Structure formats: structure tokens, C-alpha cells
Amino acid sequence: MTITLERPAFDSLRADMRGEVIGPADPGYETARRVHNGMIDKRPAVIARCTGVADVQAALHFGIAHDLPVAVRGGGHNVAGKAVCDDGIVIDLSPMKGMRVLPGERVAQAQAGLTWGEFDRETQAFGLATTGGAISTTGIAGLTLGGGIGWLQRKHGLTCDNLLSADVVLADGRFLRANGAENEDLFWGLRGGGGNFGIVTSFEYRLHPVGRVVGGPVVYPFDAAREVFRFYRDYSAAAPDDLFVEFGMATLPDGQRAVMVFVVYAGPLAAADDVLRPLREFGSPLEDMTATMSYCEVQQAFDADFPDGILNYWKSSNIRELTDDAIETMVAFMAASPSLRPMVIIDQFGGAVARVPDDATAFGHRDAAYDLIIAAIWSAPGEQEAHIDWARRFWEAMQPHASGDVYVNYLSEEGQDRVRDAYGHHYARLVDLKRRYDPHNVFRGNQNIQP
């Protein structure tokens, strides 16, 4: 059952907003309530599709006045489905796609409804980019507020390290800017503390010159998984900051299981062959697909593996060290996955991420070596039990090798202890900030910091 608001309430919100207001009886409702993860099936009382700050303020005011749970939607990619809620108001920022690049200053001003594909397209028109998510349909908003992991992070830092300023609507409806000179405490919390402190309507990012890159996978037969993993451990540990190396499980077009080392090299092209030679000379790959390509191309390389609406269940942990034991466990679980769709991904940190002082932002895991994403992905609704069970058992088996930390944006619905693990040793400072900016926890439809 969905809570239904009275007609006069809808009419008053419609009168206050420039954007569309969608209720359960409207034809667009079924589409508008859906997010990237097809497992999420929530039924909001109203969806307010905002066109700017005034709409956000009107929708928030309406939600509070009617005592509705509030969810904020950027790109709608959060696997836990935090962009929507049951019986509440969804403040949907996805129509807000304005963007301006200031090439001389190497700055981008971007509204909160943009996706990384849309953002990259504009910055690349000027040969510029900032660290952003690896799937082009992911929203810039949720990703930035949680930290922001991407191919360029070892060279240019996390996405949040490139955030210069944010426009924010607070829980009491006030608008303010947060940056290095104004509301610095809030600016600190926005860089890793998620959407806990307010609704960010626009972000300002530092950009960097990024031309053509060398990217793509080298694919190996699954039988070689152990050796490839060990090679990955050594090669990633020795990588220069210009290089990001990912290990992944892959499925070939003929349905065979395989493993891959995926690289993105964003340094001088003349040096690429030397940097990539150890990988290109290692083992007996099925295929070396590394090639020189545009930054936008590499940013979309995995899009087809994550179609909108596919069923997802993720578990993740930061990993201290890729020991032989850890590798053994991972290979055993990959071999036993219930389907060929799941993605098992290891990402490396270090470089510029580790050089930012720990207390400079709320992102709490500067010392992470690797993270592990166990992404069970399937399409038949009846199969969910087997996939979720596999992901959970895999994650449990990896805990002896895990640091205890997890990236907040990779959390599923996993309980408050795990939320604390995600914010790590900054949790107490984040609680103080939450008490200052959102004492009544209006913004609780997120990985929540409880005031």
C-alpha cells in the first residue's frame, strides 16, 4: 500500500514548484520511483522533480510540513536504494543538469542532477577532467559526497579532494555555500560524510588537463587466476601515480569465466609502453585489449556490464594486503559463483589519495591499500537467495584479510555498526557536525550519521 496525499496537498506543492510533481496516480510514477538497482521497489507518496534551489526549498518545506520521510535523489545509483523512500517525499534533483566549464581557471560548476557521462563530455570539450566514477550513468552528487573513487585518483586524488565549493540547502531551508573560506566545518563534512548535512544543489570542481589515455583489460583464462592475482599484487604495488590497476573477474561472450587486469594510464603517452610492458609481457592472455582512447571512452568501458534495472546486491571491504591466503579465498568463491554475471573487483588506492592529510576531509580511509567489491548481479527475480547468500559467504570468508573499513558508497543496507565502519575514526566529529546542521535528522535517508 502507498500512502496517498490529499489532492489539495498536491495542488499546493505543484503551485510552489517549477518542476514536475508526481504522485502514485500519475502516469510517470512507475518510472520515476525506480532507481538503478532493480532490487529496490519503494513507493514514495510524492516525487518532486526539482529545477533549481527554489524547488528544492519548496519540496523540503512541504516534506517537513507534512511530516514525510525525506529522500534525496542525485543519479539514483546507490545500491542500497537510498535515493527513494516508502511513503515519503523524494526530492529528485535529476532534472538539474546545468553545467559551466571555466577553462582558464580549470574549474567546473555542475548542478547535482548530472551523471559522470554528462559531466565528462563537457569537461573533455576543453581537454580537462576530474576524478569521477567509472560508470557513466552514476550521479556526480552521491559519489562526490561519499568520497569518489575513480581511474584518476592516484594522480589527482578522490573526487571530494577536487571539490572546491558546494551550494547547500540546509534542513531548516536556509541556503549557504561551503568551501575553504565559508562554512569550513560543513565543507569538511561534505567531503566523505554523504548527504547527511543538507541537499547540495551545485558543486564546483577543480579540473586537470587529461588527454588521451591508455586503457582497457588484458584478459586471462580462469585457470590462471592465482598467478594473475599475484602478478596484479606486485604490478599494482609498483605502479606510478599515472597508472590505476584493477583486478576483475570477467565473463567472455561465449560464457566462459575469465579474469582480467584492467588499466588506465593517464601519463605522457610516450612513456606508456614502458609502464605497461610488464603487464603486456606477463603470462598467456586470451586477449590484450589495451589501447589508446579518449578519457570518455574509458569512462564508459564497463557501462554495458551495469545496465539500469538489473538486480544488484553488493558487499565490500577494504583489504589490508593481498596475501596468498586472501587470493586463494577469492579464487575459490569466484569459481563457485552462482552465475556468470557477478563482478568481483579489486581497486587500488595509494598515490594522491594517501597524500591528502587524514583530517583534511571527512573521508576516513586514506591509508587503504585495496578495496574489494563483491557485486552479485543477476536478472531473474526468483534467483535472489542464491546470489545474496554467495555474496555474504564470500564477504565473511574475506574478513580475516579485511581492515574493518568500507567505502560508504559501496554499502548495502547493513546496519548501524557497518555505517560506523564506513565513516571510520571521523564518526564522532561527524556526529557533532550533524547535531549542528541537522539536529532533527531530517536527512536520514542515507547511510545515516545519527545526531
Ramachandran sector of residue 447 (left: φ over 0; alpha: ψ -120 to 50; beta: rest): beta
Question: Interface with ligand FAD includes 138 (CB under 6 A)?
Answer: yes
Residues 338-367 that bind ligand FAD (CB under 6 A): none
Among 19, 21, 36, 183, binds ligand FAD (CB under 6 A): 36
For ligand FAD, the closer CB: 56 or 258 = 56
Question: Interface with ligand FAD includes 306 (CB under 6 A)?
Answer: yes
Neighbours of 241 (CB within 10 A): 17
The CA radius of gyration of the chain, in Å to the nearest whole number, is 22
Question: Interface with ligand FAD includes 134 (CB under 6 A)?
Answer: yes
Question: Interface with ligand FAD includes 248 (CB under 6 A)?
Answer: no
For ligand FAD, the closer CB: 168 or 228 = 168
Question: Interface with ligand FAD includes 83 (CB under 6 A)?
Answer: yes
For ligand FAD, the closer CB: 114 or 327 = 114
- Whether 189 contacts 88, CB under 8 Å: no
Distance of alpha carbon 116 from the chain centroid: 10
Q: Per-residue x/- marks for ligand FAD, 387-416, CB under 6 A?
A: ----------------------x-------
Q: Which residues contact 49 (CB under 8 A, 6 or more apart)?
A: 19, 20, 21, 22, 32, 92, 94, 95
Among 93, 210, 239, 298, binds ligand FAD (CB under 6 A): 93
Distance in Å, CB of 79 to ligand FAD, minimum: 5
For ligand FAD, the closer CB: 282 or 423 = 423
- Whether 202 contacts 111, CB under 8 Å: yes
User: Is residue 149 classed as helix, strand or coil in its secondary structure?
Assistant: coil
Q: Per-residue x/- marks for ligand FAD, 166-195, CB under 6 A?
A: ----------------------------xx
Distance in Å, CB of 48 to ligand FAD, minimum: 13
- Tell me how many degrees the CA angle 184-130-278 measures, rounded to the nearest 5: 130
Among 33, 42, 49, 77, binds ligand FAD (CB under 6 A): 77
For ligand FAD, the closer CB: 141 or 171 = 141
For ligand FAD, the closer CB: 49 or 82 = 82
Question: Interface with ligand FAD includes 422 (CB under 6 A)?
Answer: no
Cα separation, 59 vs 199, whole angstroms: 11
Question: Interface with ligand FAD includes 123 (CB under 6 A)?
Answer: no
Which residues does residue 218 pair with via DSSP β-bridges, in sequence order? 261, 288
Among 72, 250, 264, 266, binds ligand FAD (CB under 6 A): 72
Q: How far apart are the first and last CA of the chain?
A: 31
Question: Interface with ligand FAD includes 153 (CB under 6 A)?
Answer: no
- Whether 243 contacts 154, CB under 8 Å: yes
Residue (of 71, 60, 1, 24) closest to 448 by Cα position:
71
Question: Interface with ligand FAD includes 142 (CB under 6 A)?
Answer: yes
Question: Interface with ligand FAD includes 424 (CB under 6 A)?
Answer: no
Candidate ranges 72-80, 213-221, 282-290, 430-438; the one touching ligand FAD (CB under 6 A): 72-80
Number of DSSP helices (H) and strands (E) in the chain, helices first: 15, 19
- Whether 48 contacts 59, CB under 8 Å: yes
Question: Interface with ligand FAD includes 88 (CB under 6 A)?
Answer: no
Cα separation, 319 vs 303, whole angstroms: 25
Cα separation, 66 vs 291, whole angstroms: 55
Ramachandran sector of residue 246 (left: φ over 0; alpha: ψ -120 to 50; beta: rest): beta
Q: Name the residues that contact ligand FAD, by CB under 6 A.
A: 36, 71-79, 82-83, 93, 112, 133-135, 138-139, 141-143, 145-146, 148-150, 194-195, 199-200, 306, 409, 445-446
